[in-house]
Amino acid sequence: MDQEFTLREAIELAITTEQLGADFYERMTRKFETDPELKGIFAQLARDEKSHEAQFKEILITVPENEGEPERFEEHEFLRATAISRFFRKEAFQDTDRIEDRDEALGRALAFEKDTLLYYRALDDAFGGSDAVRKLADAERQHVLTLMKVIMANAKFRSLQDTW
């Protein structure tokens, strides 16, 4: 990542992140096809990531080519730091064939969703707030909460919108 990190670049990274997430979840859907609950979780997450990708593409259309960097250095640096996360690099998803069980798969999903949430919150803060980005961050937050409930309470998955 170069020294300047513009709004366009930040949103393009979000689009790539959603693509990587959807691909990961689709692979997990296939890997756990004999476990209806896990298959359902990962299939829904894949659909959500594809939807988020489309939403970020719509946001990107509205961003002028010459949109600048965040005004405050600290927010800019925090955004850059969150973008360095291992889950934003393709290498982080290359060993998915080694995932053997439910806990590891769900743990990977949770880590990815937490990193994504942090990045989207930083994106929102760095560029002055956007209702659209905030809604996408809220969706990622819901993914984190749902995955935590499934992991920690061994709760049964019904849908990502479940209030439990």
Q: What is the CATH number of the domain that holds 51?
A: 1.20.1260.10
Cβ-count burial 109-136 (b if 16+ within 10 Å, e if not)? bbbbbbbbbbbbbbbbbbbeebeebeeb
- The span from the CA of 93 to the CA of 25, in Å, is 10
CB 143 within 8 A of CB 113: yes
Helix (H) and strand (E) counts in the chain:
5, 0
164 located within any domain: no
The number of domains in the chain is 1
pLDDT higher at 163 or 131: 131
For 28, the domain range is 7-152
157 located within any domain: no
83 located within any domain: yes
15 located within any domain: yes
pLDDT tens column, 83-118: 776 555 555 666 777 888 888 899 889 988 998 889
pLDDT tens column, 8-51: 888 888 898 899 899 999 999 999 999 998 999 999 999 999 99
158 located within any domain: no
